[in-house]
Amino acid sequence: MPALQLLRARILPHWPVFAGFGVFFLGSFLFLLAGASDRQPIAFNHARHVENGMACDDCHSGVKTQARATLPTLATCLACHEAPLTQSAEEEKIRALAAAGKELAWVQLTRVPPHVYFSHRRHVQQAGLDCTICHGPVEKLSVPPRKPFRVLSMDACLECHERSRARTDCNDCHR
């Protein structure tokens, strides 16, 4: 069968499928290139805050007492930054948001699948895990992380549980 006939008979009837894959991969590439998932409302400097004596739970409330840790609210930031402490444009953004009556629109990077129950309290308070185990060396970052330090998968969780001899009963996490 000549090449042109093969093209007409086998490939052209399926062009919508090929075009769909092309659009999907191009869109995915552009999304990653643009970094749309890592834009934070302010370029938060974790290192500077840690140098000033702050701990993770000063801003991420609930990390030791609740199943879910929180992202800082505007009120949390304003507790220290209601009046200028530096000449930082990022610090000024906090007061501008407050004046506009808006909240910080953080982009959550680390996610647990919805079918999984995860308790920060259990891992941090009871098991004594350091935040860096899952979130990486955030305390050294002068800009927000661009992506999660670790993708939380079942294999990653089971590996950690087995290494630390923690329970691996399915019903503990899948409720």
What pLDDT tens digit does each residue of the chain (175 aa) get? 676 665 566 665 655 655 554 445 444 444 444 444 458 999 999 999 999 999 999 999 999 999 999 999 999 999 999 999 999 999 999 999 999 999 999 999 988 889 999 999 999 999 999 999 999 999 999 999 999 998 889 999 999 999 999 999 999 999 8
Longest dimension (CA), the chain: 78
Task: Please tell me the distance from the alpha carbon of residue 168 to that of residue 157, in angstroms, as a whole number.
Answer: 9
Q: What integer pLDDT is reported at residue 91 of this predicted model?
A: 94
Q: What torsion, rounded to 10 degrees, do the Cα atoms 113, 115, 121, 126 define? A: -110
Q: What integer pLDDT is reported at residue 31 of this predicted model?
A: 46
Alpha helices (H) along the chain: 3-6, 15-34, 46-51, 56-59, 74-81, 89-99, 120-121, 132-135, 154-163, 170-173
Q: What integer pLDDT is reported at residue 39 of this predicted model?
A: 86
Q: What integer pLDDT is reported at residue 157 of this predicted model?
A: 93
- Chain-centroid distance of CA 131 in Å reads 13
Query: Is the distance from CB of 53 to CB of 113 less than 8 angstroms?
Result: no
- Chain-centroid distance of CA 134 in Å reads 11
Residue 125 DSSP SS3: helix
